[in-house]
Structure formats: structure tokens, C-alpha cells
């Protein structure tokens, strides 16, 4: 007789590690939106994927590594946001980035939730530093474009371009909070369309922007 201890792996689909890691990241995004960042436990992740809790640790050594993978994903999305058409004028680039942000928030409402959550900041100094670096990098790119816009006569910023960049990012973050965390802005894309002209006025740019 064979050892009839149990009959595991009944109908479970076995997948590659790379697949599972991606799936875990997407599951984290889904859970952040559905149940909140604090409710993202390894058990919740495993349950959402139809696996047992221990399986999660086959693919990540600990929870911090999961968060790091989520940050990898987030960084890739942010890189996409900051890839406007190269032939665009500086102000148009800025506008495209703003719109891409709103599209990102509409597509993945979990992103601001993760960004704002203390979980990604206080308990993990390295992740906190990475998030700092990411935002600083975005600010720098925007500041460069705004500088070019002033030089090209496309805008006439009263303050420094760096401050104009900080203002735009602050607006974006505020909108992200209002739409994705607080839920008082139904459609970030529509809200952005109404708000961006005000920013153009702030930097003394024309309203058109093709």
C-alpha cells in the first residue's frame, strides 16, 4: 500500500516563479484597492491567488521583498508616465505628464493608496528612501521642462521652475488623494481636464496646448 497521508496538489495549476511574482504584485494592487493597504497580509494574497499562505514565501523571502517588487512595478509605470512624445514643446510635455498621471490613477486607484500609506514609509527605511528618490526625480524632470518652457517663451513663471514643478506635483498628489483615497473625486481624468488650465495660468502659459 502507498502512504495515504494526504493528496496534495489536487487540481492546483502550477506556474513559473516569474509568473507568480507578477501575479502577487497585481494581487497586492487589487487588495490595496478592495480592502485597504493594511489588510494586505500574506494570507490574503495567497487566498486571492488560490494558494496556501506558505506558497507566497516560495517567491519572496519576506514581506519587504513583496513591497519592493510592488515599487518596481510602480517605478515602471512612472517611467511610462514620463515618456511624452519627444517632438512636443516643453509645456505640452508637462501637460502630457499630468494627463498620464490622471490616466494612471483611473486605471490603478491603488497606486496613490500605496504611495500615501505609512506601510511603505515608516517600517521600511529603504522603501521610504526609494519613494523619496522617485518623487524627487519626477520633480527634476518637470523642473527641467518648465525651465525650457520659460526660455522658449512658452511660459513666464513668477517663481523658480523648481517651485512650479513642486506645485504641479503637489496638485497631482492632492488629486490622487481626493480621488483614490478619499473618494470625493469620481473621475480624476475629468477633474484634471478642468484643473490643468488653472495651472497653465499659474505658470503664465497660453490656454490652447495642442
Partner DNA sequence: GCTATTAGTAAGTAATCAATTACAATCTTA
Partner DNA sequence: TAAGATTGTAATTGATTACTTACTAATAGC
Hey, what's the torsion of the CAs at 133, 136, 141, 146, to 10 degrees? 180
8-16, 58-66, 144-152, 162-170 -> range binding a copy of itself (CB under 8 A): 162-170
53 binds, among DNA, a copy of itself, none (CB under 5 to 8 A by kind): DNA
Distance in Å, CB of 6 to a copy of itself, minimum? 36
* Reduced DSSP (H G I as helix, E B as strand, rest coil) percent helix, strand, coil of the chain, to 5: 70, 0, 30
Distance CA 141, CA 137 (A): 6
37 in contact with a copy of itself (CB under 8 A): yes
Give the single-character DSSP code of 205.
-
Instruction: Please report the sign of the dihedral spanned by the C-alpha atoms of residue 133, residue 139, residue 142, residue 146.
Output: negative
51 vs 111 by CB, closer to a copy of itself: 111
The C-alpha cell 488653472 sits at 198
The C-alpha cell 512624445 sits at 85
**Binding residues vs DNA (CB under 7 A):** 3, 5-9, 12-18, 20, 39-44, 46, 50-55, 57-59, 61-64
17 binds, among a copy of itself, DNA, none (CB under 5 to 8 A by kind): DNA
Residue 10, C-beta contacts closer than 8 angstroms, at least 6 positions apart: none
Q: How far apart are the first and last CA of the chain?
A: 77
152 in contact with a copy of itself (CB under 8 A): no
The C-alpha cell 528618490 sits at 133
Binds a copy of itself by CB under 8 A, chosen from 121, 145, 186, 189: 121
Distance CA 110, CA 29 (A): 6
Give the per-residue contact string, 183-202, with a copy of itself (x = CB under 8 A; - = no).
xxx-----x--xx-xxx-xx
92 binds, among DNA, a copy of itself, none (CB under 5 to 8 A by kind): none
**Can you give the binding site for a copy of itself, defined by CB under 8 A?**
32, 35-39, 113, 116-119, 121-123, 128, 131-132, 135-136, 157-160, 163-164, 166-167, 169-175, 177-178, 181-185, 191, 194-195, 197-199, 201-204, 207
Amino acid at each position: 500500500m502507498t502512504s495515504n497521508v494526504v493528496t496534495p496538489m489536487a487540481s492546483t495549476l502550477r506556474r513559473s516563479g516569474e509568473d507568480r511574482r507578477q501575479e502577487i504584485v497585481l494581487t497586492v494592487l487589487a487588495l490595496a484597492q478592495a480592502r485597504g493597504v493594511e489588510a494586505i497580509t500574506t494570507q490574503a494574497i495567497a487566498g486571492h491567488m488560490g494558494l496556501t499562505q506558505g506558497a507566497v514565501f516560495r517567491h519572496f523571502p519576506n514581506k519587504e521583498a513583496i513591497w519592493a517588487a510592488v515599487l518596481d512595478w510602480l517605478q515602471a509605470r512612472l517611467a511610462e508616465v514620463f515618456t511624452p512624445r519627444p517632438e512636443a514643446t516643453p509645456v505640452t510635455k508637462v501637460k502630457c505628464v499630468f494627463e498620464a498621471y490622471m490616466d494612471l490613477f483611473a486605471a490603478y486607484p491603488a497606486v496613490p493608496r500605496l504611495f500615501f500609506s505609512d506601510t511603505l514609509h515608516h517600517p521600511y527605511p529603504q522603501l521610504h528612501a526609494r519613494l523619496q528618490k522617485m518623487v524627487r526625480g519626477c520633480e527634476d524632470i518637470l523642473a527641467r521642462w518648465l525651465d525650457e518652457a520659460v526660455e522658449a517663451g512658452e511660459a513666464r513663471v513668477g517663481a523658480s521652475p523648481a517651485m512650479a514643478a513642486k506645485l504641479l506635483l503637489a496638485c497631482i498628489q492632492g488629486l490622487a488623494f481626493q480621488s483614490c483615497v478619499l473618494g470625493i473625486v469620481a473621475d480624476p481624468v475629468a477633474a484634471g481636464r478642468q484643473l490643468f488650465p488653472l495651472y497653465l495660468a499659474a505658470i503664465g502659459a497660453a490656454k490652447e496646448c495642442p
